[in-house]
Amino acid sequence: MHSTIAERLSDILHTLPEGVELVAVSKFHPIEALAEAYAAGQRAFGESRAQELSVKAPALPSDIRWHFIGHLQTNKVRPVVTHASMIESVDSERLLNAIDREAERQQKVARVLLQVHVAQEETKFGFSPAEVLDYFKDRRFETLKATHICGLMAMASNTDDTERVRSDFSRVASLQREILATAPDLRGFDTLSMGMSDDYPIAISEGATLVRVGSAIFGPREY
């Protein structure tokens, strides 16, 4: 591994095929680290806490595109809708509707991804594949007034078993195709956010259009 943030960023960018966007996951890292990545040309950053985003966004250049990737409570949507160019971690219909109301209030369009749970670990966060499919089958997205669902986000199982990881990603990609078959009039439902430092090459080979890479750029996080 190279020693600077700029060199690590450049190494990763060189491995990304055209059409795959890199979100540099900067959560828990100081402003100076983000500024270094910004100076190297990086413009999309990922944060996982509303409070941290609210501090970092005003302190850094305004052409940064902030991606929100953490679990979001409905009572904290306001600053995230204000600052995020995409909220990737929409893990319930309740949250989706809260974001929609807030976006309408702020007179903007919220761009979001629905987070799907396909990993083997138990978690309370994320839609199941069946829930997401039903959401589109029932055309419940038509009730949204100020939100554009741009696609899906997922994490693979936390395992060294690369075949399991590959099949998790492949399941998300096929879910996206099923949704598009169910609602062929959906527009701009083309983002597949999958892959992190340890598994993004597998995610790309399964169709990811956006990868969320943190520690491979910024080093280990200090929680």
Cα 119 to chain center, whole Å?
16
120 Cβ contact partners less than 8 Å away, ≥ 6 residues apart: 157, 159, 164
Does 48 interact with ligand PLP (rule: CB under 6 A)?
yes
**92 binding ligand PLP? (CB under 6 A):** no
Q: Least distance in Å: CB of 86 to ligand PLP? A: 12
Displacement of CA 181 from its chain's centroid (Å): 23
Confirm or reject binding of residue 191 to ligand PLP (CB under 6 A). Answer: no
Q: Does residue 157 bind ligand PLP (CB under 6 A)?
A: no
Q: Verify binding: residue 69, ligand PLP, rule CB under 6 A.
A: yes
Using CB under 6 A as the binding rule, whether residue 196 contacts ligand PLP is answered as yes
> DSSP E strands: which ranges in the chain?
21-25, 44-47, 65-68, 84-90, 110-117, 147-155, 191-194, 210-213
Residue among 9, 25, 87, 202 that touches ligand PLP (CB under 6 A): 25
CA angle 54, 109, 200 (to 5 degrees): 65
Which residue in the set 146, 197, 207, 219 belongs to the binding site for ligand PLP (CB under 6 A)?
197
Name the DSSP class of 117. Answer: E
37 is a contact residue toward ligand PLP (CB under 6 A): no
| Site membership for ligand PLP, residue 215 (CB under 6 A) | yes
Query: Footprint of ligand PLP on this chain (CB under 6 A)?
Result: 25, 27, 48, 69, 155, 196-198, 212-216
